[in-house]
Amino acid sequence: MDVQDIKNRFGIIGSSPLLNRAIDIARQVAPTDISVLITGESGSGKEVFSHIIHSLSARKHGPFIAVNCGAIPEGTIDSELFGHEKGSFTGAHEARKGYFEVVNGGTIFLDEVAELPVGTQARLLRVLETGEYIRVGSSKVQKTDVRVVAATNVDVFDAVRETKFREDLYYRLNTVPLKIPPLRERKEDIYLIFRKFIADFTDKYRSPSVQLEPDAQQMLMNYSWPGNVRQLKNIAEQIAVLEKERNLTAAHLLNYIPIEAGSSTLPMRIAKNGKDDFSERDILYKVLFDMKKDMVELKKLVVDIIQNGSSPEVFNSNQQVVSQLYRDIEHPQTNPDTYQPQLTIHQPGKEKEFEDTHHSIEVEESLSLVDKESDLIKKALKKHKGKRKLAANELGISERTLYRKIKELDLN
């Protein structure tokens, strides 16, 4: 059976190379008895691949059971998987077979395997290595012949580093890793899957067919789909039931896709109220770094004049540049978006524009933020003759912040 036959049999839609690769791995590993660890985000279709592996294996006529490890309470998970004896714990009124006993000769799919308690992980490891297990409350070793296919939507290796998952169990389960691609990595398949879902639901609910305009199709492909195929299916069902318009544009889709996600797929946080989220410290860092750049340029200028010499007219011209630099340093601009210091050195017959490059001159100056902050506040207060409101405006901070800084730096 080739990849296309598997797609037809299990209702898988798409032609993404990543999807085809995952199906091909499942097809090749199915006839063997080795363990498989399926990884993928929630809603990406991990359980479908466990059915593919079981149906194409020699155990296809044996039992198959899917167990959501995250949905079973920690206190009863051992009993569910391995069974228990009568009276082994409160409420155990009779003996009970566990999943590994019931599915003997078949396949057990352990979904969300990373949610298993550490003690249960040790029991599972023994089953994988020897096929042996012990019921809760019993001392008798029992044998089982079960193939384990596990799945998780978390990074198991990170859980191993955090000691939440046994390393030996990770390597035992991960004999053959199978990664299911998220929907956002299969953009070419999104519209095809949506069309299949919308056709199924309009037929189910006897509603008119739905068509998407090009801008709506583009929005479907640009959306990140954190819930993957499951989320896409839910949205298709909502549209089939609730939407009165049958020819949908991007504006219609915004009623079903979150606006913040539909408008951008960039991994960045948007500031509230459209304002830049600059803190006072961020602005201070920007101003200080620009001041340091000006000081470096100034020292280069002085060294150049000393080493190469300059005619009186060139010296006077450069002296104006030096004066401007000192004015910039004495009264720095506090807006980091508009502060663009420029320095032009005049030499006979040419002008040279200095830019922010690596300099061979060592800068011997204090880089202490406290010292710089204290110095700026002192200069602002001196300039405005102790009037704190005007000084605060000059510094670009609130008057309350200025009072706090004066108290913190002991500038009274």
Q: What is the domain-level CATH number for residue 224?
A: 1.10.8.60
Mean pLDDT of 329-342: 49
Same domain, 234 and 98: no
User: Per-residue DSSP letters for 20-42?
Assistant: HHHHHHHHHHTTS---EEEE--T
Residue 247 is given by DSSP the state E
Say which residue, 275 or 409, is predicted with more confidence: 409
The predicted pLDDT at position 352 comes to 46
First-last CA distance in the chain:
85
- Assign residue 397 the CATH number of its domain: 1.10.10
The mean per-residue pLDDT over the stretch 96-102 comes to: 93
Task: Indicate whether 270 belongs to any domain.
Answer: no
Q: How big, in percent rounded to 5, are the helix, strand and coil portions of the chain?
A: 50, 10, 40
List b or e across 220-234, with b for residues whose CB sees 16 or more CB atoms inside 10 angstroms.
bbbbbbebbbebbbe
The pLDDT, as a whole number, for residue 274 is 40
Residue 314 has pLDDT above 60, yes or no: no
The region of weakest confidence among 50-59, 172-181, 325-334, 349-358 is 349-358
66 band by pLDDT with thresholds 50, 70 and 90: very high
| CATH of residue 171 | 3.40.50.300
- Give mean pLDDT, residues 185-196: 93
Domain identity same for 95 and 229: no
Asked if pLDDT for residue 268 goes beyond 80, the answer is no
Structural domain total, the chain: 4
The whole domain housing 175 covers 3-181
63 or 395, which is more confident? Answer: 63
Question: Which residue among 131, 149, 181 closes a domain?
Answer: 181
d(CA 405, CA 374): 8
Same domain, 409 and 334: no
115 found inside a domain: yes
Domain identity same for 360 and 370: no
pLDDT of residue 298: 76
Pair (321, 201) in one structural domain: no
For the cut 90, the answer to whether the pLDDT of residue 358 exceeds it is no
Rounded to whole angstroms, how far apart are CA atoms 87 and 136?
10
Q: Are strands 107-111 and 64-68 parallel, antiparallel or unpaired?
A: parallel
Mean confidence (pLDDT) of the chain: 80
What is the percent of the chain with per-residue pLDDT over 90, rounded to a whole number?
49
Residue 170 inside a domain? The answer is yes
Close Cβ partners of 229 (under 8 Å, ≥ 6 residues apart): 43, 44, 45, 183, 193
Could you tell me if residue 342 is inside a domain?
Answer: yes
Most confidently modeled of 148-152, 292-296, 301-305? 148-152
- Say if CB 376 and CB 332 are below 8 A apart: yes
Query: For 206, left (φ over 0), alpha (ψ -120 to 50), or beta?
Result: left
Residue 58 placed within a domain: yes
For residue 283, name the pLDDT band (cuts at 50, 70, 90): low
Question: Is residue 271 situated within a structural domain?
Answer: no
132 with 148, same domain? yes
For the segment 269-282, the average pLDDT, to the nearest whole number, is 43
Domain contains 230: yes
Q: Give the highest mean pLDDT range of 39-53, 297-311, 333-347.
A: 39-53
Convert the pLDDT of each residue in 220-236 to its tens digit.
999 999 999 999 999 99
HSE-CB for 323 with a 13 A CA cutoff? 6
Strands of 17-114, DSSP E: 36-39, 64-68, 107-111
Question: Which of 225-234, 266-275, 338-347 comes out lowest in average pLDDT?
Answer: 266-275
- What pLDDT is recorded for position 348? 47
Q: Which of 159, 181, 203 is where one domain is finished?
A: 181
Contacts 24+ apart (CB under 8 A), 325-330: 325/294, 325/297, 325/298, 328/291, 328/294, 329/291, 329/294, 329/295, 330/379
**360 and 410 part of one domain:** no
| 243 and 383 housed in the same domain | no
Band (pLDDT 50/70/90 cuts) for residue 353 is very low
Q: Which of 181, 203, 219 is the last residue of a domain?
A: 181
250 Cα distance to chain centroid: 26
Contacts of 349 (CB under 8 A, 6+ apart): none
Indicate whether 60 belongs to any domain.
Answer: yes
Mean pLDDT of 12-37: 93
Asked if residue 181 has pLDDT above 60, the reply is yes
CA distance 250 to 254: 6
pTM: 0.61
Q: Shortest CA distance to 99 belongs to which of 130, 123, 129?
A: 123
